[in-house]
Amino acid sequence: MDLLLLLFSILLSYLFFKIWKLIDSKKDKDCYILDYQCHKPSDDRMVSTQFSGEIIHRNKNLGLNEYKFLLKAIVSSGIGEQTYAPRLVFEGREERPSLQDGISEMEDFYVESIGKLLERQKISPKEIDILVVNVSMLSTMPSLASRIINHYKMREDVKVFNLTGMGCSASLISVDIVKNIFKSYANKLALIATSESLGPNWYSGNNRSMILANCLFRSGGCAILLTNKRSLRKKAMFRLKCMVRTHHGAREDSYNCCIQSEDEQGRVGFYLGKNLPKAATRAFVDNLKVITPKILPVTELLRFMLKLLIKKIKMHQNPSKASMNLPPVTPIKAGINFKTGIEHFCIHTGGKAVIDGIGHSLDLSEYDIEPARMTLHRFGNTSASSLWYVLAYMEAKKRLKRGDRVFMISFGAGFKCNSCVWEVVRDLTVGGSKGNVWNHCIDDYPPKSISNPYLEKFGWIQDEELDTFKIPDGFM
pLDDT reported for residue 47: 92
Residues 6+ apart with CB under 8 A from 100: none
| Annotated catalytic residue within 59, 206, 258, 344 | 344
Is residue 38 part of the annotated active site? The answer reads no
Beta strands at 32-38 and 189-195: parallel, antiparallel or unpaired: unpaired
Beta-bridge partner residues of 161: 132
Q: How far is CA 81 from CA 92, 386, 454, in A?
A: 19, 17, 9
Q: How far is CA 4 from CA 10, 11, 18, in A?
A: 10, 10, 21
pLDDT reported for residue 323: 43
pLDDT reported for residue 52: 87
Q: What is the pLDDT of residues 203-223, one digit of tens each?
A: 988 898 999 888 889 999 999
Residue type, 180: N
Q: What contacts 24+ positions apart, CB below 8 Å, involve 461-465?
A: 461/64, 461/67, 461/68, 461/71, 462/68, 462/71, 464/64
Q: Please state the pTM of the whole predicted model.
A: 0.89
CA–CA dist 54, 68 (Å, integer): 15
| Annotated catalytic residue within 31, 38, 168, 215 | 168
Residue type, 83: T
CA–CA dist 200, 333 (Å, integer): 41
Is residue 61 part of the annotated active site? The answer reads no
pLDDT reported for residue 324: 42
Cis amide prior to 41 (ω within 30 degrees)? no
Is residue 344 part of the annotated active site? The answer reads yes
In CATH, which superfamily holds the domain spanning 30-237? Answer: Thiolase/Chalcone synthase (3.40.47.10)
Residue type, 333: K
Residue type, 408: M
pLDDT reported for residue 305: 83
| Annotated catalytic residue within 31, 38, 287, 348 | 348
Contact 378, 82 (CB under 8 A): yes
Is residue 381 part of the annotated active site? The answer reads yes
The CATH architecture that domain 242-314+330-429 belongs to is: 3-Layer(aba) Sandwich (3.40)
pLDDT reported for residue 325: 46
In this prediction, the residues of the chain whose per-residue pLDDT falls under 50 are: 321-329
| Annotated catalytic residue within 377, 417, 418, 452 | 377
| Annotated catalytic residue within 162, 228, 381, 452 | 381
List the domain boundaries for the chain: 30-237, 242-314+330-429
- Say yes or no: do domains 30-237 and 242-314+330-429 share a fold: yes
Kindly tell me the sign of the dihedral angle through the C-alpha atoms of 273, 275, 280, 283. Answer: negative
Burial 218-234 (b: 16+ CB within 10 A, else e): bbbbbbbbbbbbeebbe
CA–CA dist 229, 288 (Å, integer): 31
Beta-bridge partner residues of 407: 345, 421
